[in-house]
């Protein structure tokens, strides 16, 4: 499985929760903390992100940056597993 992670700009986030609905892995949730503008912000709650960029596409405030495991590293992983 390709794995990824996201980086959320918590100061920009307005807590609209659209990314929570858009995430197919349900790995984003609303935090109990609030930022300096008084909004609850979202955070990554599960470690099953695949880097599909759905959350970043629907984010109205462009606060999400997405990183994904490179394809080359996957090949390397498979090679290592096969070797083991």
| CA dist list (Å): 38 to 3, 10, 41 | 32, 11, 9
Q: Does 12 bind another protein (CB under 8 A)?
A: yes
| Residue (31 or 39) nearer to another protein, CB | 39
> Kind of pairing, strands 28-34 and 40-44?
antiparallel
Q: Does 67 bind another protein (CB under 8 A)?
A: yes
Under DSSP, is residue 56 helix (H, G, I), strand (E, B) or coil? helix
Residues that bind another protein (CB under 8 A): 3-5, 12, 14-18, 21-22, 37, 39, 51, 53-54, 56-70, 72-73, 76-77, 80
């Amino acid at each position: 499985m390709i794995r990824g992670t996201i980086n959320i700009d918590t100061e920009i986030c307005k807590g609209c929760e659209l990314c929570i609905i858009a995430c197919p892995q349900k790995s984003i949730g609303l935090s109990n903390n609030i930022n300096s503008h008084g909004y609850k912000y979202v955070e990554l709650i599960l470690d099953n992100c695949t880097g599909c960029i759905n959350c970043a596409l629907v984010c109205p405030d462009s606060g999400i940056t997405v990183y994904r495991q490179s394809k080359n590293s996957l090949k390397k992983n498979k090679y290592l597993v096969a070797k083991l």
